[in-house]
Structure 1
Amino acid sequence: MPFYTASQPLAAPRWRTLQADEGDCRLSLALEGRPLISVRLAAGEPLVVHLEQLCPERPEQALWAACYWLLSRDPACQRLAWRLPQAVPQAVASGLLLPGAQPGEYLCERTLFWQLPQPWLGQLPAGVYPQQMQLSNGKRHPRRAPKPRGEVYRRFDVRLGAWVSLRTLEVDQDLERFNRWQNNPRVLQFWQEGGTLAQHREYLEKLDADPHTLTLIGCFDDQPFAYFEAYWAKEDRIAPFYPADDYDRGIHMLVGEEAHRGPHKVASWLSALVHYLFLDDPRTQRVVAEPRADNGKMIGYMHDQCFHCEKEFDFPHKRAALMILGRERFFDRCKLA
């Protein structure tokens, strides 16, 4: 299974291979042929994990890798009960492990595990951007952090057997692709943004200069297939239609490549997109969307990912469904693998 790690905390991340030897209630993991961790497993609820060997140079990473492997192979598993001969303070401080009732007992909760920002995010988090309220077009909202550039999220989807990643859109690199996608009759039916290269350059450059919207390209195995807009709801046109919180994020979604349509692909990229937005700022408590109310297929896909339809309402240009997914609901019912 592919695995993400950095050789040093501040080093550029590199992709490596995590290998497993599993059988007879035992699991051993190696990173590029180097032993990382060995555990003994005892079936039950929760699954009990007895530590036998641990790489002394990177103990927290070794524990993380074992948690990742065990939670990814079984999406129904909600927690792991670790038995450790001695504490690993970094794992407790990060939230990877929770102290149990007895000495040497620790829990790994799926709900907490998938909220850890690394290794999914493309950049090491620099901390929460400080809050300062400001007015934009009559709307009071927090000042937004500078927008990232490059790859912002990457995860290996075990069920697809493929990497799903998100990178920021670069106008010169992606303009022709965006133009082709927007002029696709299927996309045009719902987006209504068909036009020339010049019109689409103007559209994308305007969004690039807008601090409340982040334009993203979705990729499977580094091949672009989709365009997403992630926006801060408080200063967006959606804000008057529901009580938007300061850090709610909204999404617009477009799958441009026909080969990457279908419910199994939507489950992968939609969960990745929402996961990224919740990790990007821990203050984000809701992700919202406003697809056309007659786009039953997309609304159905969103229901499958635990969104609920709050109501229907009228924009000037469409009848929309207000779809909402809360942070607690997303991680409590986490389908990531």
Structure 2
Amino acid sequence: MPATDPSLSLHPPRWRSLQGRLQHDRLSLSWEGRTLIELRVLPGDIPQLQVLEVCHERAQHALWAACYWMFASDVQCQRLLWRQPASGGPGLAAALDSGLLLATEQPELLLCERALFWQLPQPWLGAAQCPAFPQLMLMSEGKRHPRRPGKPVGEVYRRFDTRLGAWVSLRTLDIDQDLARFNRWQNNPRVLAFWQEGGSLEQHQQYLAKLAADPHALTLIGCFDDEPFAYFEAYWAKEDRIAPFYPADDYDRGIHMLVGEEHQRGPHKVASWMSALVHYLFLDDPRTQRVVAEPRADNQRMIEYMQRQGFHCDKEFDFPHKRAALMVLGRERFFERCQLA
């Protein structure tokens, strides 16, 4: 937790701003000028939080905001202990039901785990959140896989990256709006060297229309502070060309990635958008246990970026058009080593 500046402004998604002020052992969080919660913070290997005052109308939000503030302020913090009054408190029952807080062997202490906190779908997914699509198996092109849900439209993920100091968000690609941008990015010599998808506007319109009609693929635009800078393809691995090369589970997701805007490149930017993309895919369906990718085996820079985010190289293999590295990131590993802030 920062000790040099007693005031810190954080921006949870879909809240205008969350103001936090830490003085000695007192933490006060307010939203839109109204106090949400005041806490006593007792430092230790596992920080302890004691509620002094809470807004009853927004009690559950207040508890969530305090956990968010603590975890976003210190990415090394893995657990929080909440000391509850003997009579309980507002918002605690809902927090326990949602998994935000966990009971312990000591009735007066509740636990918040970083690995669980970042798996809560709200508020990162916002209105895009839907219940897990029911499972019904079917066959397509000789492959047995679950029927996939309909594709979302619009923004699907938003989070304020406190280290980057910017909003990172994902929205679905709109062919009318994004075709010229996609065409420019794909014809960039740097991108062309790895994607090999250069072409005309007409060719790219056909390429994107084919993906739009493919139930196993989802095309996304990555944004920093609502400025489009990257194109991503997310796909269900079971129906993809990657499936014969490893034991794909029913809900594994795969990714293709390109950064189109030169001024949005760099390791710190990659860490932000790649963690956001993987976070979204794990939240989109809680049954997803792995995210995979198959960059060119000689794309050492991308492979190193992915390894920094927790991916490991399972093996190298040959597609008809390239020698690829199979990169794999498991759900448990991602959330246990979660560096989101």
Shorter-chain TM band: over 0.9
**2:226 matched to which residue of 1?**
222
* Matched residue, 1:65: 65
Matched, 1:158 2:178: no
Cα contact 1:292–1:319 (8 A) shared by 2: yes
* 1:296 matched residue in structure 2: 300
Which of 300, 310, 315 does residue 314 from structure 2 map onto? Answer: 310
Distance apart, 1:2 and its partner CA: 4.5
Counterparts of 1:115 and 1:193 in 2: how far apart (Å)? 35
1:25 matched to 2:29? The reply is no
1:103 aligned counterpart, secondary structure: coil
CA distance in 2, matches of 1:153, 1:27: 29
Question: Is the CA contact 2:292–2:328 (under 8 Å) kept in the aligned structure 1?
Answer: yes
**Partner SS for 1:16:** coil
* Residue identity (%): 71
Q: Which portions of structure 1, spanning 4 or more consecutive aligned residues, are displaced by more than 6 angstroms?
A: none
The 3 A distance-change label for structure 1 pair 122 and 157 is same
- CA deviation profile, 1:163-183 (whole Å, cap 9, x unmatched): 000000000000000000000
Rounded to whole Å, the distance in 2 between the matches of 1:74 and 1:68 is: 10
Could you tell me which residue of structure 1 aligns to residue 279 of structure 2? 275
Aligned length: 329
Q: 1:18 to 1:154 in 2, by over 3 A?
A: same
Question: SS in structure 2 opposite 1:240?
Answer: helix
- Paired position in structure 2 for 1:78: 78
Q: Write out per-residue CA displacement over residues 77-98 of structure 1, whole angstroms, 9 at most, x where no aligned residue.
A: 0000001111511000000000
1:8 aligns with none
Q: Name the counterpart of 1:169.
A: 173
Q: Quote the offset at 1:102 in angstroms.
A: 1.6
The answer as to whether partners of 1:2 and 1:16 remain within 8 angstroms in 2 is no
Match of residue 3 from structure 1: 11
After superposition, residues 1-337 of structure 1 pair within 5 angstroms as 1-4=9-12, 14-85=14-85, 86-87=88-89, 88-123=92-127, 125-337=129-341
Q: Distance in 2 between matches of 1:20 and 1:311?
A: 46
Which amino acid in the other structure matches residue 82 of structure 1?
A: W
C-alpha distance in structure 1 between counterparts of 2:107 and 2:135, whole Å: 40
Once the 2 structures are TM-superposed, how far is the Cα of residue 280 of structure 1 from its aligned partner? Answer: 0.1
CA distance in 1: counterparts of 2:282 and 2:129, whole angstroms = 13
Deviations 1:225-273 (A, max 9, x none): 0000000000000000000000000000000000011100000000000
TM-score, normalization: structure 2? 0.95
Contact map agreement 2:12 2:160 (CA 8 A) in 1: no
User: In structure 1, the residue corresponding to 2:131 is in which secondary structure?
Assistant: coil
- Displacement after TM superposition at 1:23 (Å): 1.3
The residue identity in structure 1 corresponding to 2:144 is: R
Q: Is 1:84–1:105's contact at 8 Å kept on the other side of the alignment? A: yes
- Deviation (angstroms), 1:124: 5.2
2 CA distance for matches of 1:15 and 1:67?
15
State the shift of 1:15 in Å: 3.8
Q: Distance in 2 between matches of 1:35 and 1:326?
A: 39
Using the alignment, how far apart are the partners of 2:125 and 2:107 within structure 1? 33
Contact 2:211 2:218 (8 Å CA) reproduced:
yes
Q: Distance in 2 between matches of 1:134 and 1:73?
A: 46
Counterparts of 1:196 and 1:124, CA distance in 2 = 33
Q: CA deviation at 1:125?
A: 2.8
Q: How far does residue 100 in structure 1 lie from its aligned partner after superposition? A: 1.6
Query: Are the aligned partners of 2:128 and 2:155 in contact in 1 as well (CA < 8 Å)?
Result: no
Matched residue SS, 1:58: helix
Kindly indicate whether the alpha-carbon contact (under 8 Å) linking 2:41 and 2:48 is maintained by their aligned counterparts in 1: yes
Q: In 1, Cα distance between the equivalents of 2:324 and 2:76?
A: 34
SS state of the match for residue 282, structure 1? coil
Deviation string 1:144-166 (CA, Å, 9 cap, x unpaired) is 01000000000000000000000
Structure 1, gaps ≥5 residues long = 6-13
Q: Secondary structure at the match of 2:56?
A: coil
Q: Find the aligned partners of 1:80 and 1:2 in 2 and give their Cα distance.
A: 19
Corresponding letter in the other structure for 2:98: S
Given the two structures, how large is their TM-score scaled by the length of structure 1?
0.96
Contact 2:10 2:20 in 1 (8 A): no
Cα distance in 1 between the residues matched to 2:235 and 2:330: 16
Cα RMSD for the two superposed structures: 0.9
1:297 aligned partner, one-letter code:
R
**Cα deviation digits, residues 281-320 of structure 1 (max 9, x gap):** 0000000000000000000000000100000000000000
Mapped to 2, the partners of 1:252 and 1:126 lie a distance apart of 24
Cα contact 1:2–1:15 (8 A) shared by 2: no
